[in-house]
Chains A and B, each alone.
Chain A
Amino acid sequence: DIQMTQSPASLSASLEEIVTITCQASQDIGNWLAWYQQKPGKSPQLLIYDATSLADGVPSRFSGSRSGTQYSLKISRLQVEDIGSYYCQQAHSNPYTFGAGTKLELK
């Protein structure tokens, strides 16, 4: 199975701050990576797909990037509505695996 090592596990940031979350894949997955946001008590929502493409309706302050087998999600100016948990997911190989998640809180 492809392991997705996500960091940090938790993050406290201030409004308007730049936030970066990373995922390291245990092997080459190309651009087969997605990022999801999950607000408390809600279902996950797709933010980024194909490593860098913004899903429909997602604010432009979210962006994804790739460097080799390391993937990053960046929130350029943190807003209150961005609070929640974030997960990366590889779609390269069965089983489709997720990172353990990053819990983002307001400082």
Chain B
Amino acid sequence: SQTIHQWPATLVQPVGSPLSLECTVEGTSNPNLYWYRQAAGRGLQLLFYSVGIGQISSEVPQNLSASRPQDRQFILSSKKLLLSDSGFYLCAWNLNGQVAFFGQGTRLTVV
């Protein structure tokens, strides 16, 4: 069966520090991978999605970047965090047009 792992669950980082959030999927091949962010009261915002290794589409210009070094690994990064980067980050995967499965999320607080 397929599983998705996302870590860490919570993170408190100072402004200006780097960020690396990792997401891995097991039990499937060549999934579409997504990073979403939920800021308080602002719904679910698609940040990045990837249809294959090294293929990243950015939805919103921002202080973040994403990489997909392996088929089932998706990394969200920042060189210098801003206060506005605080939020709940969700990784997800699906196969074309099909149901998406979500990780448990990372609560990031930038202080």
A and B are interacting partners: no
- Using a CB–CB cutoff of 8 Å, the interface residues on chain A facing chain B are none
